[in-house]
Structure 1
């Protein structure tokens, strides 16, 4: 009986790990950014990959936040036609950034350093053009 319980528990843990590690990620088909002075739409695979990686790897920050106007309002459209809204806050000098999901405006989603730098570099190109 004990062996059965241990085996069952191990199987459940394995299935949970497989689900977490192998779960399909939604593909982004477009990202629309709007600020007071700029409107940008990204549809190229390279740019979309930067946004996918950034969104997929955010770190939820404990507590609630109260911040000012975002650098950009961001609308993400997925392949299944689902649309998600975010506020993107980016400091172009330090290349630090975070997101706030429109559906949960009190929770900050911190961008990982690598993703924040890639996103800042991508957006800086648009600011120069």
Structure 2
């Protein structure tokens, strides 16, 4: 019985650590399209990208899609760079990500994140 209690405690501690561990901070996001490259470093833009990445939902099965709307490079405070393909439909304000390191898995953006991203990127393209 004592072993079960110790194992349960260890599992609980690991679970708590996973829930409260700090997420790495994003310091910049660069988007590359066929015609331009734009870097985002301001707090509001970083928040939009961070929320979008944090709240994606995995889509079951493998994907086979065409070229992305943007290539996205996310740079974290520890200098790690994570590369994504970003697919956005500006009319329906929907989209998804595909992480380069796992290119067969589609990550669907939440509706709110898709709207915020399309709104942000529409501002840039009209300026």
The two structures have a TM-score, normalised by structure 2, of 0.92
When residues 113 and 16 of structure 1 are mapped into structure 2, their CA distance, relative to the original with a 3 A threshold, is farther
- The equivalent of 2:90 in structure 1 is 92
Consecutive aligned runs of 4 or more in structure 1 exceeding 4 Å deviation: none
Match of 1:81?
79
Query: Which stretches in structure 2 are left out of the alignment for 5+ residues?
Result: none
Equivalent residues in 2 for 1:48-63, closer than 5 Å: 48-63=46-61
Query: Any stretches of 5+ residues in structure 1 without a counterpart?
Result: none
| Cα distance in 2 between the residues matched to 1:119 and 1:63 | 25
Shift of 1:20: 2.1
Q: CA RMSD in A?
A: 1.3
Q: TM-score of the superposition, structure 1-length normalised?
A: 0.90
Q: Deviations over 1:97-122 (max 9, x none)?
A: 10011111111111122212111111
Q: Report matched runs for 1:12-91 at 5 Å.
A: 12-91=10-89
Give CA-to-partner distance per residue, 1:66-105, whole Å, 9 cap, x none: 0001000011111101111110000111111100111111
